[in-house]
């Protein structure tokens, strides 16, 4: 019975890590798009978006993270994170979790 209990706990823990990675990806996309709407178009927007998207990620998730932002108009941010296997920061699944957010560009006057 003990191996079945341990296996169940491991599977539940892995499910928690998958859910938490989805939450982190969504939050990073929200933070990135928020910073991207206030930044000027072009490379400055991508830099601000990436920095804001990665700011609140811990080292375990930041290592393989990718943040892409649209250059102009309706600003979108896409964040891709890898799901760790049991222990964050050690190894990750090859599949990625995708977070997406969008907002209208702020008008500069």
Task: Please list the rounded mean pLDDT of every run of 10 residues in the chain (109 residues).
Answer: 91 91 92 86 84 86 84 84 83 84 77
* Partner residues linked to 100 by β-bridges: 78
Burial (CB count <10 Å: 0-12, 13-18, 19+), residue 74: exposed
CA-wise closest residue to 72 among 48, 39, 99: 39
Note the pLDDT of residue 107: 66
Q: How many CB atoms lie within 10 A of CB 77?
A: 28
């Amino acid at each position: 019975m003990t191996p079945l209990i341990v296996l169940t706990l491991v599977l539940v823990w892995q499910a928690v890590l998958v859910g938490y990675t989805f939450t982190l990806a969504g939050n990073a996309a929200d933070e990135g798009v928020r910073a991207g709407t206030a930044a000027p178009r072009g490379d400055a927007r991508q830099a601000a978006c990436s920095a804001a998207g990665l700011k609140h990620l811990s080292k375990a998730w930041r290592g393989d993270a990718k943040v892409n932002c649209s250059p102009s108009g309706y600003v979108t941010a896409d964040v891709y994170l890898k799901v760790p296997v049991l222990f964050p920061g050690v190894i990750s699944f090859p599949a990625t979790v995708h977070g997406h957010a969008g907002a209208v560009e702020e008008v500069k006057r």
